[in-house]
Structure 1
């Protein structure tokens, strides 16, 4: 990266042009006198002390007392990590403030579904879903689009992927221990693409665009557990259940404990394991909505287009546990943690 580009990016982080020049100069020279910094950077001698004092206040420079006084650059990794943490905190605080402003006028949450215009924006949202997921990502999309997500998928070895596509062969980057692959089958494949992250985010779109119409492409972005739990149900009953599993999860080599939020993902994993399996379930009692945590063993499971649940023996009692939105079972499971 050219020095001019570095200065431009540092200015975006809140430094002035002279402050950016001084910090870059110190990285080149190491601990230096103010006169040396002036000579190397071209910062006027009348300004250099103010610039260095400002950099010290902002955490970019340490002052080494003595005669002469020396100025030392703070490790860039330390500086940038602190800036990143502060930036993330500011963004989260702004999100809260913006929602409060919105509710003052409208008295409700922001809309749960947005329209995304432009193919590149859709790709960015799909990457964001993968990057921010904590437990699992469900993907149903043509291989042409799946390839665009290659780097994000390869980077996430700490979550479970369930991916349905029109595979001919399985590329190396999809052979990870944490990935379940299915080859799409029949008419359901033609209906739509889905990228779903946990119960937090979902992206939906139809046919991929031709190049000349990429800017007119539309997709739909949802951030609503109520909507996403339906998307997850459709993902399994419409798509996965009509597809062929060509690569199950390598459970033995997958990182433990394995944490999931979708009951059907859990059962898809269990189909290739010998029961019983130790599990911790975090959820709510269906009758009272009281929070509950169960530690026990899975003894059996049930999986149909309408029903998905597991039976867990915990505390000397058998519990019937479903997923989010359960009303037939004893417990509405919100997180499922396989322990062995």
Structure 2
């Protein structure tokens, strides 16, 4: 990278052109007098002391007091790590401020929906969902696209995965995953739309695959909205998974407990595999007053239809409560997080 490019990038982090030039010069010279920096960099003598003083305040230069006074560049690795940390903190603070502002005005979380342009960008977004999901990953896609996600999928052993595809056989890299439930899709073309969903945080959707992967005229849709994603999850199960043939069960006993899940239909899908009478904890809200609650007990039964999905829990104090998922309106509790033991 040439010096002009370095100076431009340093200016993005709040340094002036002269400050950037002085820091680069000190990296070349090592501890130096102000006059040496002036001579090497071309910064006017009338400006050099102010420039070096400003660099010291910003953490780029150490002042070595003595006669003569020397200025030493702070190790670039230390400088860049500090800048990285400050930048991430600023971005997170700004993000929270924007979200709080939107929620204060509209009374709900900020929905985010984008159109993604290009096939490679779509792959990157799908991989991001798989990498960033904390608890569960739901995928419905042709095996041709699933292969593109192999590396990201193989690295996740700490999140439950439910994958629907037009499998001809189960590949070894999926067969050995204890945390995956696999299903073979039906033959109807509408079953081959692609959904990649991570928790209630992110979802990606597109229709048919392009014939030429290099084509830029390919679009997918990316969403970050809990209300929207809860509908996507409902469609994932009722349209895709429930109309497919399960070909691999979860190896529940080999998984670390508790298993944390975010969708009621995923909870019931696991219970169908392992049976009820399991210890469970639920964090959610009472439907009657929206007060947040945490309950624990055992699962007595579940109800699962295209329209409803809920579980009945006998709590530790003997109370029986019906728990649904996000958007529940018929149950006692709207479950947000489920911990299965």
| TM-score normalised by L of structure 1 | 0.77
CA distance in 1, matches of 2:175, 2:9: 35
Tell me, yes or no, if structure 1 residue 139 matches structure 2 residue 139: yes
The aligned counterpart of 1:180 is: 181
Which runs of structure 2 are paired with 1:95-134 in the superposition (5 Å)? 99=102, 113-134=113-134
Q: Which residue is 2:196 aligned to? A: 195
The change in CA–CA distance for 1:163 and 1:48 in structure 2 (over 3 A counts) is farther
1:207: how far off?
0.2
Task: Measure, in 1, the Cα distance between the counterparts of 2:145 and 2:41.
Answer: 50
The SS at the match of 1:144 is: helix
1:165-208 CA-partner distances (Å, limit 9, x unpaired): 23344253785444333332332664411122222332221101
1:273, distance to aligned residue in structure 2 (A): 2.8
| 1:279 equivalent in structure 2 | 280
Tell me whether 35-44 or 276-285 shows the greater mean CA deviation: 35-44
**Residue aligning to 2:12:** 12
Task: Give, in whole Å, the separation in 1 of the partners of 2:154 and 2:6.
Answer: 29
Equivalences for 1:41-120 in 2 at 5 Å?
42=41, 44=43, 46=45, 49-63=49-63, 65=65, 68-71=69-72, 72-73=74-75, 75=78, 76-94=80-98, 99=102, 113-120=113-120
State the shift of 1:263 in Å.
Answer: 0.8
Q: What's the CA shift for 1:119?
A: 3.0
| Partners of 1:283 and 1:334 within 8 A in 2 | yes
Q: Which runs of 5+ in 1 are unaligned?
A: none
Q: Is the 8 A contact 1:126 1:195 kept in 2?
A: yes
Confirm or deny: 8 A CA contact 2:112 2:224 kept in the other structure.
yes
**Aligned-residue CA RMSD in angstroms?**
4.0
Q: How far has the Cα of 1:51 moved from its partner?
A: 4.1
Residue equivalent to 1:316 = 318
Higher CA-based Rg: 2
Counterpart of 1:335 in structure 2 is 337
Deviation, structure 1 residue 294: 0.5
Deviation at 1:213, TM superposition (A): 7.9
Could you say which residue in structure 1 is the equivalent of 2:226?
225
Q: Which moved more, 1:299-308 or 1:260-269?
A: 299-308
Is the Cα contact below 8 Å between 2:18 and 2:51 reproduced in 1? yes
Cα distance change of structure 1 residues 199 and 111 upon mapping to structure 2, 3 Å threshold? closer
Work out the CA distance in 1 between the residues paired with 2:108 and 2:290. 23
Quickly say closer, same or farther: Cα 1:212–1:279, change in 2 above 3 A. Answer: closer
Matched, 1:32 2:31: yes
Asked whether 1:296 is paired with 2:289, we answer: no
1:326 is aligned to 328
Q: Deviations over 1:257-301 (max 9, x none)?
A: 322110111122233335533221112223443332102222333
Q: Is the 8 A contact 2:142 2:192 kept in 1?
A: no
Does the 8 Å CA contact 2:129/2:203 hold for their aligned counterparts?
A: yes
Matching of residue 245 in structure 1 with residue 246 in structure 2: yes
Change (3 A) 1:227 1:42: same
1:272 match: secondary structure: helix
User: In structure 1, how many angstroms separate the alpha carbons of the residues matched to 2:161 and 2:25?
Assistant: 46
TM-score after normalising by structure 2: 0.77
Deviates more, 1:268-277 or 1:200-209: 268-277
Q: What is the rounded CA distance, in whole Å, between the counterparts of 1:5 and 1:321 in structure 2?
A: 58
2:183 alignment partner, SS class = strand
